[in-house]
Structure 1
Amino acid sequence: MDKKMETKWPERISYGLSDAADNLVFQVMTTYLLFFYTDVYGLEPGAVAILFVVARIADTLESLLIGLMIDRTHSRFGKSRPFFLWYAFPYVIFAILTFVTPNFSTTGKLVWAYITYLGLGFFYTAVNVPITSVLPTMTKNERELTLLGVIRQFCGSSVQIIVAVFTLPLVALFGQGNQKTGFLVTIIVFGAISLVLILNTFFHIRERHTIKEISHQPIQNVVRMLWRNKQWLIISIVIFLYWLVTAIKNQTTIYYFKYALHNESLVPWANSFTLAALVGVLLIMHLTSSRSKKKTMQIGIILAFSGQCLLSVGVYSSLLSVLFIGILINSIGHGIIVGLVSIMIADTIRYGMAMGIQAEGVLASTDDFGVNLGLGFGGLVTAGLFHVSGYLPNKMQNTSTLHMININYVWLPFLIYLLMMAVLYFYDEEKMQHAIKNKSAVK
């Protein structure tokens, strides 16, 4: 394995800032869009649930489409890198349009939501898949790949926390009591910063390791490689489960504090404890120096589960200190898990190259595919359960709805963490790394 570091710090930071750029908009969407649609724009929860499902189905197809587009791209800038240049501007425009609130009829509002949200989903995919697909082309050094993945997730997680903590205060500041105006101005600010950061990534990163002989393979060859790449299939399921639990927890947080505790002002405080995710991300370099990535991710799942246990105690005992400690420990585990995702996907891309197929676009689309599918099901679960329980925006909630909030916030995450651990058990990292180091072992 090549020990030479091939990237310098300006390139590493620029690569990491690509995830920060996407998360400025993405985290507003995942954490507050359901609340925005129901409590600010006035859409019915059931209609929003269907919208989220339709959008996620579209996004999963778009993930594969963008992956195929990357693998078919012939450019002097490379295969993945030009997507940052081509799609940054439309991504930001649709982000802003999603939070525009025209005074249409109920049907008109829903049509507007479909057009803007589906458009945002497509362009998000177009600037997000390349972040993962470009990684294994930047260096052959395994520790450097891990370092780049950690830098990426550190930047992304930092912005997630900034968005989680400061979005509602910014909405209040910009809106002065008008949440429609507040959300719109906030997303304009976030979008402008995102545009600058995405373009910065395009100008400062480089693709160094594209093997021309295997980089543009027929689709049937790629499909055969995918079927043989079992580790890719397994990590894809783990990614889906991670984003499913993340969506359910994130979307329910504001409802829990607003309707169960009757104190919406605690949401930024609760979200501030997710800062601990950065600790988890930073632990990755240390943990992987003495153990496999699989074992490191298992540690992350155990920590997330343990934190969820404390969170449940805090919820049912009404002890905020215990609840916040639970969020903190859970976030450390989440930081480890999500920090390893792009690194492990990069390993599966290199595994595919050992099989004679360089299809980083399609393989990397798994990351975005899992995000979209997980968020789609998460949105369906949250909005769907609220709808059947009789949720009414900005009203005192009935017992059934409060029970549904607790199911989403406490109990469903327990089940999903256990499923993640069970699926990850079958991930054979040793076999994959042996094949990468000895290409002749894969025939």
Structure 2
Amino acid sequence: MKVTGTMQNNISTEPLDDAITNKERLSYGASDFACNVANGMVGTYLMYYYTDVFGLAAGAIGTLFFIARIVDAVSGPTWGIMIDRTHTRWGKSRPYFLWFSIPYAIMFILTFSSVPLGPLGKLIWAYVTYIAIDILYLGINIPITSMLPSLTADPQERVKFSTVRQVLATTGATLISIAVLPTVQLLGQGNDRKGFFVTAIVVAVLTVFLLLLTFKNTHERVHSQKQEKLSLKESISALKGNWPWMIISLMYFFFWIGMQTKLQVTVYFFKYNMHNADLASFMLGLQALSLIVIVFTPFLTKHFGKKGTMVIGLGLCVLSQLILGIGAQMMNVPILAGATILGYFGNGFFAGLLPVMLADTVDYGEWKNGVRAEGLVTSFSGIASNLGMGMGGVVTGFLLSMNGYVANHAQTAQALKAIEMNFVWVPFIGFGIGLILMYFYKFDKMQPKIEADLKKRHELAE
């Protein structure tokens, strides 16, 4: 990693003939397809794997997820600062796909390896592998968002990049949610431990291939005129008074608390509450319908703005949980399916816009504080999502443990209620807090002035 130069505020762009192609947009999107395939398997199925396959207690897993979040609080900003201090011929963010895709894949396989150990040994193995994969995941996921402000300075082009990214990310998440359990059964031939292990190998190989494809075909155009080495103090100064960043980070955190609790108990809910585990893959697969709204995100933002479109998305998520609660009480599959579809529509708006809004916070930090710190500023998307996902895991683990959940047994009424709480009402609260936070988001009105001021600064600096 080559790091040179001193702090500069001058930003320039590559010549206009360095055209952005569909190949580059698709290659950028391939990175999040890879991350959603891999992390989708971890986020949706790891808790089920730990409790019902590997044989760990739900409460112990909740503690593990909580400790991992403490590690995230340190490792996330560290990755962001490393990106801000990285300068290579490939750029600041791109090289991380080359450097860390293979280490991540190896640890991913080990996470789903059912080693023949005793109870304590299994718990230690889970701690080591899960925390390691969590750290390495941030090393390949944060660069996806930190690279967006460097791919182009054009706001609408950023929306296009983000739209392609989210279409492919949703496709990856949908495929893995549908395919994991059938693939485990097929490859394991009745042995779930073997099935999860072989499935993890397939996913790991695909992840490495796609991340290397992203590295090969993308190009960072917006950069400092001189290579800059941001100190920790200088990077942090980009966050000073950056209220759009604060709002987006908090919204992302609470959204993922809700989404993670819902995702990771989907299998439990349909296996134990509805007595039909096969419905879990079907319901998770419905997220493919969110592609319908993602592809229309650029059009909607032109008419409603980013804030208005995000409010619509979060409002649909909140409404879907209320209807889901009715379906859960009635044990009515059509109502559950309809509510799930509505929720995925809302999630499509959220997913399509969030990276763009984070890129805007990079511009705001430069406009307000004179520091362009893509790495640290955007790293909080990975930090907030990981913290939210982890806290969702903590909530799920402790609610299940406190209410008497026992793996692979008929559950008590109290345990079934805890599963329903995780599936319906914890997400309702998380999405609702995110919706309230959007009331305070005022960036859209300021963006024209910010763009004009930054353009003027850059022209004067040339």
TM (norm. structure 1) is 0.96
> What whole-Å deviation, never above 9, does each CA across 1:26-72 have from its counterpart, x for those lacking one?
00000000000000000111111111111122123211110000001
Give the 3 Å change call, closer, same or farther, for CA 237–266 of structure 1 in structure 2. Answer: same
Answer whether contact 1:5 1:141 (CA < 8 A) is retained.
no
What is aligned with 1:273? 286
What is aligned with 1:395? 409
Q: Distance in 1 between matches of 2:183 and 2:120?
A: 30
Answer whether contact 1:161 1:271 (CA < 8 A) is retained.
yes
Helix, strand or coil for the counterpart of 1:394?
coil
Q: How does 1:121-200 map to 2 (within 5 A)?
A: 121-200=134-213
Helix, strand or coil for the counterpart of 2:223?
coil
What is aligned with 2:55? 42
1:427 aligns with 2:441: yes
Which one of 401, 404, 407 corresponds to residue 421 of structure 2?
A: 407
1:320 aligns with 2:343: no
**Once the 2 structures are TM-superposed, how far is the Cα of residue 5 of structure 1 from its aligned partner?**
8.9
**Once the 2 structures are TM-superposed, how far is the Cα of residue 22 of structure 1 from its aligned partner?**
1.1
Q: Which range moved further: 39-48 or 306-315?
A: 306-315
Q: Distance in 2 between matches of 1:59 and 1:167?
A: 26
Answer whether contact 1:351 1:436 (CA < 8 A) is retained.
no
Gaps of 5+ in 1: none
What is aligned with 1:439? 454
What is aligned with 2:389? 375
**Once the 2 structures are TM-superposed, how far is the Cα of residue 432 of structure 1 from its aligned partner?**
4.3
Give 1:38's aligned amino acid. Answer: T
**Once the 2 structures are TM-superposed, how far is the Cα of residue 220 of structure 1 from its aligned partner?**
2.0
Which one of 66, 85, 88 corresponds to residue 101 of structure 2?
A: 88
Answer whether contact 1:59 1:369 (CA < 8 A) is retained.
yes
Root-mean-square deviation over aligned CA pairs? 1.7
Q: How does 1:271-350 map to 2 (within 5 A)?
A: 271-350=284-363
**Once the 2 structures are TM-superposed, how far is the Cα of residue 436 of structure 1 from its aligned partner?**
2.9
What is aligned with 1:262? 275
**Once the 2 structures are TM-superposed, how far is the Cα of residue 118 of structure 1 from its aligned partner?**
1.1
**Once the 2 structures are TM-superposed, how far is the Cα of residue 346 of structure 1 from its aligned partner?**
0.6
Answer whether contact 1:16 1:155 (CA < 8 A) is retained.
yes
Q: Which range moved further: 68-77 or 278-287?
A: 278-287
Q: Distance in 2 between matches of 1:9 and 1:283?
A: 17
Q: Which range moved further: 408-417 or 151-160?
A: 408-417
Answer whether contact 2:261 2:423 (CA < 8 A) is retained.
yes
Gaps of 5+ in 2: 1-14, 458-462
Give the 3 Å change call, closer, same or farther, for CA 143–346 of structure 1 in structure 2. Answer: same
Helix, strand or coil for the counterpart of 2:303?
coil
TM (norm. structure 2) is 0.92
> What whole-Å deviation, never above 9, does each CA across 1:2-36 have from its counterpart, x for those lacking one?
99994111111000000011111100000000000
**Once the 2 structures are TM-superposed, how far is the Cα of residue 124 of structure 1 from its aligned partner?**
0.7
Helix, strand or coil for the counterpart of 1:208?
coil
Answer whether contact 2:255 2:434 (CA < 8 A) is retained.
yes
Answer whether contact 2:238 2:377 (CA < 8 A) is retained.
no
Q: Which range moved further: 408-417 or 76-85?
A: 408-417
Q: Distance in 1 between matches of 2:83 and 2:231?
A: 13
**Once the 2 structures are TM-superposed, how far is the Cα of residue 77 of structure 1 from its aligned partner?**
0.9
Give 1:119's aligned amino acid. Answer: A
Q: Distance in 1 between matches of 2:286 and 2:96?
A: 34
Q: Distance in 1 between matches of 2:413 and 2:205?
A: 42
